[in-house]
Amino acid sequence: MAFPTTAGTGCEITNAMVVLDVAVHAKLQVTHPYCNCDIAMLVPELTIKLPAKITAFTGMDALTHAIEGITSTGAEPIADALGLHAIRL
């Protein structure tokens, strides 16, 4: 089970995670099949106290995912509709 603390990145559906060590200001990316989760609980309250800069970055990440989806050579009509809706949001 995952409890994402950023919105729009989609990290809860991948087999990768990022761990931040604030003591040394370093990020560690871990990729492993066991990182997949069966359930993701999206709790908006977990994102409220994020710094504005992180909120902006994750918003841009979500926007680029939407643009990528509609410009992909393998795009499907439903994916296009969802991508366009995400861009409008």
Domain ranges, residue 28: 1-44
28 and 60 belong to one structural domain: no
35 and 62 belong to one structural domain: no
pLDDT (tens place) for every residue of the chain, 89 residues total: 888 888 777 778 888 888 888 888 898 888 988 888 888 888 888 888 889 998 899 889 889 989 998 998 887 899 899 999 999 98
5 and 33 belong to one structural domain: yes
39 and 59 belong to one structural domain: no
Q: How many domains does the chain have?
A: 2
Q: Could you give the CA distance from residue 20 to residue 1 in angstroms, rounded to a whole number?
A: 19
31 and 70 belong to one structural domain: no
65 and 30 belong to one structural domain: no
Q: pTM above the 0.85 mark?
A: no
Name residue 30's amino acid. Answer: V
**Token pair in block for residue 78:** 């439903």
64 and 81 belong to one structural domain: yes
